[in-house]
Amino acid sequence: MMRQYELVERVRRYNPNTDEALLDRAYVYAMRAHGTQKRASGDPYFSHPLEVAAILTDLKLDDATIVAALLHDTIEDTETTREEIDRIFGPQIGALVEGLTKIKKLDLVSKQAKQAENLRKLLLAIADDVRVLLVKLADRLHNMRTLKWVPEEKRSRVAQETLDIYAPLAGRMGMHDMREELEDLSFRQLSPEAYDSIRTQLQVLKEKNGEMVAAIERELSDAVAQKGLSAVVKGREKRPYSIWRKMEQKSIAFEQLSDIYGFRILVEKTEECYAALGVVHTKWPLVPGRFKDYISTPKQNDYRSLHTTIVGPGRQRVELQIRTRQMHEIAEYGIAAHALYKDANGADMLTRDSSAYAWLRRTIELLAEGSSPEEFLEHTKLELFHDQVFCFTPKGRLIILPRRATPIDFAYAVHTGVGDRAVGAKVNGKISPLVSELQNGDEVEIITSNAQTPPAAWESIVVTGKARAAIRRATRAAVRAQYAGLGKKIVERAVVRAGKAFSEEKLAAAAGRLARHSLEDVYAAVGRGEMRADDVVKAIYPEWTGPRPEERAAPKGEGWFELEQGQSLKFKIPGIESDPDPKTAIPIRGINRELPVRFAPNGGAVPGDRIVGILTPGEGITVYPIQSPALQDFEEEPERWLDVRWDVDENDPQRFPVQIVVVAINEPGSLAQIAQVIGERDGNIENLRMSSRSADFHRMVIDIGVYDLRHLNGIIADLRARPVVSSVERVNG
């Protein structure tokens, strides 16, 4: 176990002004607080926070973070309180330790909802001070290094969570070494056979290639030095998980990989990066399509480097990264490289213009937009795992998106309002589908319309969490608006039927009595069928005693349904006595965005039919023709019956659904004749199914779209006139 003076020395190497007394005090306090506690391995428990602190010294973090690491389990696992830590070490360190305590339960979760909710807690805890995340990552890294001591039934859960959340989160923070070690440790636990196989093959390859890596290092160093550049060239072997993931993604064998070894060229200045690149590309041929400039367009986690692949010394394919030493430090330590070393209680730990920190803040903003923990977890994983493409607005603004992003994702990245109103896109000056995949360097112009609302189907197309959250939010708002619109019409007409004057001011005043906060809440509840319109009327006019008994009575008219064999079925129609009153009947124009309207599932309804609406909770209005026998099912529920009327726009004709049953002679071409009649009459066949067939006749049920009852009757008459047709009847389901 590391001694007290050894920890202080580790910090002093990179921070000569360290507060040695503070570190000593924290070391002694944590050791005494944990006392005789033991880890699963049998080691003193204090060895764990001490190792976490050591990991953070490798990241060159400030005194407050090192102290928080030493104390991070004290509130949770000992009798220490936040007040005591504030008194001894100061409120800032106290806040860090409490933030870590709140997310301690993040470990060993199994259900997705729990994992998602705990991820929320983690990100909220680091919203104000990202040092909480740095300590948590170091905590997880040490736990993964000692995973073999954890009970076997928990190991896979911890490893999977590490691979799903912590490793990609470390990558997003630019901490690539930590990400790779977390991935390898998880991979080793989750797929031990694959891990061992790749390690064995790497060892065989190393023995076979011998001095190849050293030879390539020397040749690259000599080539750069000849041009007067002072550079350090380092070669390294890719890690097992990185190799396995590439094999899986490209469906190739280990032997087919040509980039197992990577090399870095480190120089002093940015311009020397491009000079070194020129040397390399002049001496060895470039592999087409493998050059990326992350210096001019850094990644969201602040990563900057030149990437290229050459056919290098010995005809070996060589991956190269060229960067300055400062860029290398950020690439290795990520957001931790932005630390400003002040006194132990200094508030400004990080530069707030860090791109990684900006991504973190944007991710936290999604917390307020997701409707469920699972939805937030889905969005965050999308953001964590995707690689990036760099696109531009027409004015040159850089927009960084995940791979496979579409112009819809681009629009939402620009602004949520732009995404909601997007109707088209121009990519590099040419009209492109909104579902097309964007490429690096694309210039994207979004075409918008104030009349547009995002279709729900977009959710399955986009790849960014922000776009999915916005689309779901807009879809929920649109559905709510539909129900609110329907509810308003129902309430208005209920008030008129009661002989009262409708007033939104009076309704707003009565909303509290209905346990609703706003007019829209009341309307939406009525539209969904969660609240009766009569109850709303009573809330507005308490003196109103409700409909008279004769108005409550269900039977008020009769309907006839002609059965196929010529028999008739008679039934009663509640509330239908004459043509609907235009003042109280809800106008129906078909299925649109204004009202959540459906038509009878079997048979439909068309203009010209006398119709009635049935209110179904959560579904809106279902419109039936009054001859539909299905209405018998609702005779005992008169409160669900609504007066509705047709309101067809003659200048904008639309088809309505109807169902017919055709019995036709079984001979070649009979179906073609039926389809020809419907087509010539401008009907639209939407579905067709054979309900029965025999050697002589086929019985088919056809769903067609027609403009009105006259249009339907014309089609039926023409079909009956065909010799191949035995009978045609309309279905009144």
In terms of pLDDT, which residue wins out, 423 or 503?
Answer: 423
- Report how far Cα 213 is from the mean position of its chain's Cα atoms: 43
pTM of the model: 0.55
> Could you give the CA distance from residue 321 to residue 276 in angstroms, rounded to a whole number?
11
CATH code of domain 386-463: 3.10.20.30
344 pLDDT band, cuts 50/70/90, is very low
105 pLDDT band, cuts 50/70/90, is very low
The tokens for 682 are 């401008």
The tokens for 673 are 């004749």
Helix orientation angle between 131-145 and 47-58, rounded to the nearest 10 degrees: 120
> Could you give the CA distance from residue 262 to residue 246 in angstroms, rounded to a whole number?
14
Predicted pLDDT at 128: 62
Predicted pLDDT at 562: 37
Least confident of 516-520, 560-564, 631-635: 560-564
Catalytic: which of 9, 24, 58, 77? 77
Check pLDDT > 60 for residue 533: yes
Domain boundaries, the chain: 4-191, 195-336, 386-463, 474-542, 553-646, 656-730
26 pLDDT band, cuts 50/70/90, is very high
Check pLDDT > 70 for residue 343: no
**pLDDT tens by residue, 450-463:** 888 888 889 888 98
What average pLDDT does range 256-282 have in this prediction? 88
Q: Look at strands 656-665 and 644-646 and give their pairing.
A: unpaired
In eight-state DSSP terms, residue 694 is: -
In terms of pLDDT, which residue wins out, 359 or 573?
Answer: 359
In eight-state DSSP terms, residue 164 is: I
> Could you give the CA distance from residue 195 to residue 631 in angstroms, rounded to a whole number?
66
128 is catalytic: no
CA distances from 87 to 82, 91, 344, 630 (A): 9, 8, 14, 75
Least confident of 71-75, 246-250, 710-714: 246-250
SS3 call for 328 = helix
The tokens for 712 are 């339907």
- Does the domain at residues 195-336 carry the CATH identifier 3.30.460.10? yes
562 is catalytic: no
Predicted pLDDT at 351: 44
SS3 call for 557 = strand
In terms of pLDDT, which residue wins out, 582 or 718?
Answer: 718
In sequence order, which residues have a C-beta less than 8 Å from that of residue 611 and are 6 or more positions away? 588, 605, 623, 624, 625, 626, 644, 645, 646
> Could you give the CA distance from residue 219 to residue 414 in angstroms, rounded to a whole number?
46
For the ranges 6-20, 102-116, 150-164, 556-570, the one whose mean pLDDT is highest: 6-20
CA distances from 245 to 250, 277, 395, 418, 490 (A): 9, 28, 38, 36, 58
- Which residues on adjacent β-strands are paired with residue 75? none
What average pLDDT does range 23-49 have in this prediction? 91
> Could you give the CA distance from residue 219 to residue 313 in angstroms, rounded to a whole number?
7
CATH homologous superfamily, domain 4-191? Hypothetical protein af1432 (1.10.3210.10)
Least confident of 3-7, 79-83, 476-480, 558-562: 558-562
> Could you give the CA distance from residue 330 to residue 294 in angstroms, rounded to a whole number?
13
Least confident of 38-47, 305-314, 593-602: 593-602
Predicted pLDDT at 121: 57
Predicted pLDDT at 639: 67
Check pLDDT > 90 for residue 114: no
**Residue reference for tokens 């002609």:** 562
Computed over every residue of the chain, the mean pLDDT equals 79
- Which residues on adjacent β-strands are paired with residue 630? none
What average pLDDT does range 75-85 have in this prediction? 90
> Could you give the CA distance from residue 430 to residue 402 in angstroms, rounded to a whole number?
22
Number of helices and strands in the chain (H, E)? 28, 22
Which helix (H) or strand (E) segment is 89 a member of?
A: helix 82-89
**pLDDT tens by residue, 650-704:** 777 788 888 999 998 888 888 899 999 999 999 999 889 887 777 788 889 999 9
**pLDDT tens by residue, 468-492:** 888 888 888 877 777 787 788 778 8
CA-nearest of 59, 74, 60, 62 to 27 is 74
> CATH says 656-730 is which class?
alpha beta
Check pLDDT > 60 for residue 560: no
Which helix (H) or strand (E) segment is 658 a member of?
A: strand 656-665
What average pLDDT does range 616-628 have in this prediction? 78
The amino acid present at 654, given as its one-letter code, is: Q
Neighbours of 592 (CB within 10 A): 11
In sequence order, which residues have a C-beta less than 8 Å from that of residue 704 and are 6 or more positions away? 657, 658, 659, 660, 678, 683, 684, 685, 686, 715
Half-sphere exposure (CA, 13 Å, Cβ side) for 373?
13
What average pLDDT does range 629-641 have in this prediction? 76
Check pLDDT > 60 for residue 553: no
For the ranges 294-308, 309-323, 341-355, 665-679, the one whose mean pLDDT is highest: 665-679
In terms of pLDDT, which residue wins out, 106 or 612?
Answer: 612
Check pLDDT > 70 for residue 417: yes
CA distances from 42 to 74, 79, 146, 296, 339 (A): 19, 21, 12, 51, 35
Cβ proximity of 563 and 693 under 8 Å? no
What average pLDDT does range 223-236 have in this prediction? 89
> Could you give the CA distance from residue 556 to residue 576 in angstroms, rounded to a whole number?
6
Predicted pLDDT at 123: 62
Check pLDDT > 80 for residue 554: no
> Could you give the CA distance from residue 394 to residue 73 in angstroms, rounded to a whole number?
51
> Could you give the CA distance from residue 16 to residue 41 in angstroms, rounded to a whole number?
35
Catalytic: which of 9, 20, 24, 76? 76
Check pLDDT > 70 for residue 107: no
Least confident of 51-55, 100-104, 555-559: 555-559
**pLDDT tens by residue, 137-169:** 999 999 999 999 988 888 988 898 888 778 887
360 pLDDT band, cuts 50/70/90, is low
> Could you give the CA distance from residue 94 to residue 525 in angstroms, rounded to a whole number?
47
In sequence order, which residues have a C-beta less than 8 Å from that of residue 51 and are 6 or more positions away? 2, 142
Predicted pLDDT at 364: 54
CA-nearest of 574, 576, 658 to 610 is 576
